[in-house]
Chains A and B, each alone.
Chain A
Amino acid sequence: MPAAAALKVLVVDDQNSVRQMTRLTLEQLGVRHIHEAANGRAAMDTASLQPLDLIISDFNMPEMDGLGLLRAVRGHPVARKVPFILLTGRGDRELVVTAAKAGANNYLIKPFTAAILREKIEQVMGKLS
C-alpha cells in the first residue's frame, strides 16, 4: 500500500494551467513530491535523473509528445519500470489503444476529478494510504 505522501510523481503537460490543475488535484490526494515538465524531452531529462513512482503525461505536446515520452521511458534502463498514466481527451480511443500497446499502465480522460485520479492511480499502484 503506497503512501501518497511518499509518492514521487512527474506531471507532464505543455500547458501550465493544466499542469497546475493536475498538481492541485494530486495535492488533494496527499501527494507531496510533484515534479513538472512541459514536454516529453524535459520529462525524460527529469526521469533519467530523479527516482519516480509515477508519470502522468499529456499526449499532445511540442518537442516530444506523450507517446514519444512513453516509448523513451520504456526504453530507458532506469526509468523503464515507472508506471505511466496517459492524459487524454475524450474520443481519443485510437490513442489509448496505441498507448496500451506501448506500455501505458492506465489512461485518464481530461477533465478529471480527484476521485477519478485516485481510482486510476490505485488501479496501477494499489490502494493509497
Chain B
Amino acid sequence: MASLEQLKQTFFDECAELLQDIEVGLTEMREGGASDETVNAVFRAVHSVKGGAGIFGFTGLVEFTHVFETVLDEVRHGGLAASADVIDVMLTASDVLSDLVTMSRSGEPIGAGYGEECRNALQHLIKVGDGGAAADDEGPAPADFEDFDFVPVPAEGFDAPEGAEAVTDGMRCYAIMFRPKPEMLKNANEPLYILRELRKLGELDLTAHVGLPPLSELEPDHPYIGWTGTLRSAATRAQIDEVFEFVVGDCELEIVEADPISVVTTMIEAVVWPADLALQDSPERDDVAAAPKVTPEMATSAKSADKAPGVQPTKPAATTTRVELEKIDRVVNMVGELVIAQAMLGQIVQGLPEDVSGRLAQMLEEVVFHTRELKDSVMSMRAAPVGSVFQRMPRLIRELAAKTGKKVRLETVGEHTEVDRSIIERLGDPLTHIIRNSVDHGIESPAERLAAGKSEEGTVRLAAEHRGGRIVIEVRDDGAGINPERVLKKAREKGLIGMDAVLSDEEINNLVFLPGFSTAEAISDISGRGVGMDVVRSNIQDVGGRITLKSERGRGMTIQLALPLTLAVMDGMVIKVGGETYVMPMPAIVECLRPSRGDVQNLVGSRGMLQLRGDLVPLVGLGDLLDVRSTPGAASDSVVIITEAGDESRFGLIVDELCGHQQVVIKSIEESYGSVPGIAGATILGNGRVAFILDVDKLSDLAVNEMSTVGSAGLAHAGSSGLAA
C-alpha cells in the first residue's frame, strides 16, 4: 500500500502536468485559438490542483487555486470576457501557482502575502465578472453546505428519492422523451432548433439515443436519433408544449412533470429504440432492461449513449502507463551490458574455425539485429519531447518582458522533437540563459525598434529538429545582434585578446564564449552575474554537444545547439592508432578512404591536404593529436577518416587501421578523470578492453591548433594525462 508521502509525490507529479496544461491552455487562449474545451480543460486542471491540495492539506494552495478557479468559472460561463488583459492576469496566476506548488513540494513555508498582488487582481476580475457585485465566496469558501438539506438517498430507496423533492426550489422538473419521425424532416422541421428552444427555457439535460439499422435498410433521410432527459425550468407545461407545437404529429413525444429519476428510468425502459428493435428476435430481448445480465448489446448501447450532445467531445483514450524512470534506466543498463556481451561473443565466434563459426555467425547476426531493435525501443522509451523544456520559456519571456519593458513574443517550433531525458534535463539551464541574453541584450526597446524600422514587438524563436543523428536546437532573435566593436573593446579591456589582434567578425562573435566575458555595460539582474556564455558552452559540451553563434548586426542573432540524441549507447567505428584502440562516433564520420599518393598534397609541414573530389581537406594525424606513437608512415599508407565537426568544417584524420563498426555503450570517465580534450568517454569492447570514445568537435579544435602550430608540442594530450588504457 502506498504511503501518504508517496501519494503526495504522486500529487506533485500530477501538479507538474496540470500546470503545463494550464500554461498551454492559457497560451492558446491568449493567441486566440482556443475553443470552449480549452477553457474547460484549464478550469479542470486548476480544479484538480485545488482538489488534491485540499486532500493533502496544502491550505495555501487551496486558497489561491480557489480564487483562480472562480475566475476561470466566470470565463467559461461567459460572465467574464477572456480579453488579453484577463488572460494575462491568469498567466501570472499560473506562474504564481507554479511557485506555490514548488514551495509546497519542497516543504518551504509560503511567505505571508506571497502572490497577494496576483490574488487581488484575480479577485478584482471576479468582481468585474459579477457586474460589480462582490464574489459570494472569497477565499476557500467558508460557507460549507454540510447543513444543506440534501437528504442522502438510501440505496434501496433511490428509485423514489425524497432528496430530489427537497431541492426543487420553485423550479419544475420535466422528463422529456422526444423522437422525430421521418415526416418531421420532410416537413422541414429541424430537431436541433427545437432542442435549442427548449434549452432557452431552463436547464436541459438530454441523452441521445442513436440506433442505426443495417446499411441495406438505412434510409438516408430518416432521423435515427431520439432523446430522453430532463428539463429543469420555471416554465409551465404550456410553454413547453408551445416549443413542440409545430411538430406534435411528426414525432414521438412524452413530457411528464414529476420526480426526475424514476420517470426517466422507467421511460428509458418503456421506450423501444430502433437499436433495440434489432434485438427483438433474440429471446433475451425481455431480459435486457430488467435482468442483470451483461450482453454485448448493452455495452454498445451504453457507448452510443455516451456520444450524446452535451457530453464533452471524445478524445482518443491515451494508452500510456507511468513507469519510474529508474526502471527504464535499469533496462537501458541491461541493454548496454547485452551489447557488450554480444560484442564479446562476436569476438569469440571470429576466432573459431570456419566450419564451426558459419552457422554461429549467422545466428549472432540475428542477435545483433534484435539487440539493435531492443536498444532503439528502450531509447525511445527514455526519449521525451523537448516541449517540456520549451514550456518553461513562455513564462520566462513574460517575466523578462515585464522587467525590461520590452515587447517580446516567443515562437516555438518542433516541440515534439524527441530526445533522451538525460539531455532534456541538461537543456533547461543553457536555454534559459540564452533566452535571457536574447531578451536582455538582443531585443531592443520598443522605441529603438520602431526607430530601426522594425515592429515594436521583438520575436524570439525557439526551434528544435533532428538533423544527422543529432538534435539541433536554435534560438533566434530579431534584435540588434552582436556589436563587434563593443565586444572587441571589452575583450581587449579584459585582456582576453591582445590589443593589436585582428579578428574576423565571426571570431569576434565567438569571444562571448570566453570565460569572464560580459558585454552588458552594467550587469543586470536578468542575465545574471558570474554565469556567462562560457558556462553555457561548457554545459553543452559536457553532454557532447556543440554551440554555434551567428549574428547579423541590426538583424538579430542565432544560437544553435547541436546535441547527441542519447548519452547511453551509440554507433561507433572502432579504429586503431599506434597500438591503441579508439571509437569514433558514426554520425561524425563522412567517409573513410585509403588515399593514393597523388591525392595528398604536402603544403606546410608533413601532413598536408587531401584532394577529395575537387576539394582540399586538411589532414591531421590522430596519433599526433592524442600523442600516441603512430607507426611512422605517410598519409598514403594509412586510412583517412573524413569527419565533419558540428560547425560543418571537414578534416581528415589519419589512423592506422579500421577495425569495424559496432554499437558501444558510453561510460563517462569524467567522474574519474575529469574532462579530457578530445575524449568524450570510454566504452568496453568485445575483447573486454576499455577504449576511449573520441570527441570529434574537440579533435577538430585540436586539429586547427595542430595545423597552425605544426611542430610545436604545446597541445593538450590525452596521453600525457596518464590516460592510456
Contacts of A42 in B (CB 8 A): 317
Interface residues of B in 46-105 (CB under 8 A from A): 47-48, 50-52, 54-57, 66
Cβ–Cβ contact B261 & A103, under 8 A: yes
Greatest chain B CB density within 10 A among A65, A101, A104 is at A101
- Known contacts A63-B315, A100-B163, A124-B153: A14-B205 contact under CB 8 Å: no
* C-alpha gap A20/B5 in the complex (Å): 12
Cβ–Cβ contact A101 & B173, under 8 A: yes
Cβ–Cβ contact B1 & A24, under 8 A: yes
**Interface residue tally for chain A (C-beta within 8 Å):** 57
Interface check A128, CB cutoff 8 A? no
Instruction: Name B317's contact: one of A16, A41, A44, A100 (CB within 8 Å).
Output: A41
Interface residues of A in 89-122 (CB under 8 A from B): 89-91, 93, 96-98, 100-107, 109-111, 120
Interface check B218, CB cutoff 8 A? no
Contacts of A96 in B (CB 8 A): 145, 148, 150
Cβ–Cβ contact B298 & A78, under 8 A: yes
* C-alpha gap A120/B146 in the complex (Å): 11
* C-alpha gap A39/B64 in the complex (Å): 26
- Bitwise interface map of B from 538 to 565 toward A, beta carbon under 8 Å scored 1, else 0: 0000000000000000000000000000
| Least distance between B319 CB and chain A CB atoms (Å) | 12
* C-alpha gap A73/B14 in the complex (Å): 28
Instruction: Name B312's contact: one of A15, A44, A63, A126 (CB within 8 Å).
Output: A63
Chain A residue, CB-CB nearest to B144: A90
* C-alpha gap A109/B155 in the complex (Å): 19
- Bitwise interface map of B from 213 to 237 toward A, beta carbon under 8 Å scored 1, else 0: 0000000000000001010100000
Contacts of A101 in B (CB 8 A): 164, 167, 173, 230, 232, 260-261
- Known contacts A62-B312, A96-B150, A100-B161: A90-B141 contact under CB 8 Å: yes
Contacts of A126 in B (CB 8 A): 154-155
Contacts of A124 in B (CB 8 A): 152-155
Interface check B433, CB cutoff 8 A? no
Cβ–Cβ contact B261 & A91, under 8 A: no
| Least distance between B529 CB and chain A CB atoms (Å) | 40
| Least distance between A53 CB and chain B CB atoms (Å) | 8
- Known contacts A49-B294, A75-B264, A105-B158: A93-B51 contact under CB 8 Å: no
Interface check A21, CB cutoff 8 A? yes
Interface residues of A in 41-79 (CB under 8 A from B): 41-42, 44-45, 48-49, 51, 58, 60-65, 68, 71-72, 74-78
| Least distance between B115 CB and chain A CB atoms (Å) | 20
Cβ–Cβ contact A64 & B7, under 8 A: no
Cβ–Cβ contact A68 & B154, under 8 A: no
Interface check B639, CB cutoff 8 A? no
Greatest chain A CB density within 10 A among B10, B11, B51, B169 is at B51
Cβ–Cβ contact A100 & B150, under 8 A: yes
Interface check B289, CB cutoff 8 A? yes
Partner-binding segment picked from B176-184, B299-307, B497-505, B514-522: B299-307
Chain A residue, CB-CB nearest to B159: A81
| Least distance between A108 CB and chain B CB atoms (Å) | 10
Interface check A29, CB cutoff 8 A? no
Instruction: Name B207's contact: one of A45, A75, A98, A110 (CB within 8 Å).
Output: A75
Cβ–Cβ contact A17 & B56, under 8 A: yes
* C-alpha gap A93/B146 in the complex (Å): 10
* C-alpha gap A93/B159 in the complex (Å): 23
Greatest chain B CB density within 10 A among A80, A90, A102, A106 is at A90
- Known contacts A102-B261, A106-B152: A27-B302 contact under CB 8 Å: no
Cβ–Cβ contact A77 & B141, under 8 A: no
What are 10 contact pairs spanning A and B, CB under 8 A?
A18-B48, A18-B55, A24-B2, A61-B44, A63-B314, A74-B265, A78-B293, A80-B265, A93-B148, A103-B161
Residues of A at under 8 Å CB distance from B?
14-18, 20-21, 24, 27, 41-42, 44-45, 48-49, 51, 58, 60-65, 68, 71-72, 74-78, 80-81, 83, 89-91, 93, 96-98, 100-107, 109-111, 120, 123-126
Q: Across chains A and B, which 9 residue pairs bring their CB atoms closest together, nearest first?
A: A91-B141, A17-B11, A123-B152, A83-B155, A103-B261, A106-B152, A105-B153, A111-B55, A17-B10
Extra contacts, 4 of them, besides A17-B52, A68-B306 (Cβ < 8 A), are A63-B317, A72-B305, A110-B54, A124-B155
